[in-house]
Every structure is written in structure tokens, then in C-alpha cells.
A and B are shown apart, each in its own frame.
Chain A
Amino acid sequence: MNNLILGDFDFIPSHLPAEGGLNIMINPIDLMTSWKRCGALANFVASFYSDERDFGKKLDANLISTIFNELMENAAKYSDKRDALITVNTKLYNNILKMEVENYARQRHFDSLKNHFEKLVNAKDLDDLYVQQMQQNIEKEQESGIGLLLLLKDYPVKLGIRFEEIDENMYKITVQVYHFIEPS
């Protein structure tokens, strides 16, 4: 496998000009040593985009922070290459905020995320999947990527993911979330 794409990846192609954008690069170790930085970054991005004077529309800071925090926490948990930065690209289009996070993960994290995401995109009923995963969580004492499930199930978003094989044990993972801005 060289590349694998799942979900609504590139729903808006990268080359389309945006109204505004914000890019961040961060070392995973800085998030692992201070977990609160995931939330701090999420609140910062939410604050950046929620000022209606700049964009002529009202973006919901609480929703943006919650969505973005899940992406940062996933990238922090599943980054294995110490010298590779987590790259965050955000772009605002008319009524869509695109949030893209890239990180590098080893085979075991790739397998886990790929299986989880395949379950998400193939699920007939995401509510059933939520109840099932919560019950499994009690039985097996494990947590398995519930964040992406909650985003896809309950939030006004489209989700896409791309896995690129870098070498036999390293993958570049790009997660894209397209948040549809609800009228306030």
C-alpha cells in the first residue's frame, strides 16, 4: 500500500483560494509534555475564527474549539516520529471552515486508525456504533478513537483521511474536517 484515502478527503481541493487561513506547526513532544496545550491551541484557533468583524459571519467558538481539540489530541497521541512536526492548516471558505492536521505514526497506530475509520465510513447507524463502542470500552478497559465518531455523528462536518506510506513502519496521516457553519 502506498496511499489510502477514506471518507470525504479533498472535499474542497487545496488549490481553491480561501477567504482566510491560519497555519501552525508544532512538535508532538510539546503536546505530550503539556496536554493542556491541545486545548490552548484549540481555543486560540476558535478565537481567531470567531470574530465576525473579520469575516462578516458568526462562527461558533465553542464548536470550533471542540472539533479542533479532538484533531490535536489525536495527532498528539498518535505521533511517533520525534523529529517530524505536526502540521495544521486551516482555511475559511464561504460557509465552510476546513481544518487539516498532518502527523506521522507507526504501523500499530496506522492499523488502529484505519480500522476505526473504515468502521465509521461503513457504519449503517452511527448511534448504534456509539453505544456498542461505549459498552466495549467498559468490557475491555480501552478507548478507541471515539472522538472522530462523535464528530461525524453529531457535528455539522464532513471527515476525510489519507494515509501515505513513508517506509515499512511509518505513515503520514492527514485528517481533514470540513465544518459547515450553521446560521446563528
Chain B
Amino acid sequence: MELAIENASFTFDKDKATLSIEGALRLSGVQKYKEEGFFDFLKDAVKNCETTLNLDLTKLQYLNSSGVTAFSRFILEIKKEAMNPIKVTGSSEISWQKKTLPNFPKLWNQIILDFQ
């Protein structure tokens, strides 16, 4: 499964239970993320995984605060809907990731965070 949103590409590999996002995500608001299919794509990936989904962000160069809100909302929604928790993989080479990704486990302590 694949999805393209402006300057970012989303690829879900069911066999590897990995959803990779590459590029830059800087849409003008959370509603825009919703309209572009962000939430549906991520939730479908979680539903289609028999094991823990690895959300691989190691090639996501930029994310704006609306994007942080969108990921945060996705995490809170899967928690609320009692779906499987996910693993988030970030890059220690990309500064925004080192600053921002540690926020996600604060929303749900079942979220695993790993840096490469």
C-alpha cells in the first residue's frame, strides 16, 4: 500500500509490518492531514499487522507542528480504540526527530521509541 501527500511518500509493507514515511510533511493544519488520508492510511496499517507496526520515520526530513499534532492524535485514537500499540523508529541524525519523537510515549506508555 502506498500514499503520497505533497512532499512525502508513505509505504506500508505488510510482510515486514513496517510503514515508512519519507520526505517532508508540512500541511497547513490537522484537517488537511485528515483530508489527504493520513489517519485512514496509518490506522489501516495497524489493523493489517499481526505484530507490532513499526512506524519508520528515519527518512522524514521535516514535520511541522500540525504534523506532530496529527501523529499525536493518531496515537491517542488507537489507544482509545484499544488497537495494538506501535513502535516508532526515528533517526538520531535528524534534529527535529530527537527533539519531538520522545513526546509520543508520553501520550501512551505502550509506544516503543527507537533511534537509529
- Residues of A whose CB lies within 8 Å of any CB of B are 35-36, 38-39, 60, 62-63, 65-66, 69-70, 73, 77, 127, 130-131, 134-135, 137-138, 143, 146-147, 150, 154-155
Contacts and interface: CB of A to CB of B under 8 A. Distances in A.
Interface residues of B, number: 30
A150 B107 contact: no
B16 interface: no
A35 B107 CA distance: 29
Contacts of A143: 29-31, 66, 69
Interface of B: 6-7, 24, 26-31, 61-66, 68-69, 72-73, 76-77, 80, 94-96, 99-100, 103, 106-107
A20 B103 CA distance: 34
A146 B26 contact: no
Please report whether the interface of chain A is mostly helix, strand, loop or mixed according to DSSP.
helix
Nearest to A144: B69
A155 B99 contact: yes
Contacts, number: 76
Given A143-B30, A146-B65, A146-B69, A63 B95 contact: yes
Most buried by A among B28, B64, B69, B100: B64
A95 B66 CA distance: 29
A66 B6 CA distance: 17
Most buried by A among B27, B61, B68, B96: B96
Contacts of A77: 28
Nearest to B25: A39
Contacts of B66: 73, 143, 146
Nearest to A32: B28
Given A36-B26, A127-B106, A130-B103, 6 more contacts: A36-B6, A65-B62, A69-B62, A131-B107, A134-B72, A137-B30
A63 B65 CA distance: 13
Contact of B64 (A73, A134, A135): A73
A116 to B, nearest CB: 12
A137 B73 contact: yes
Contact of A150 (B6, B7, B65, B80): B65
Contact of A147 (B62, B65, B76): B65
Given A65-B62, A143-B69, A134 B76 contact: yes
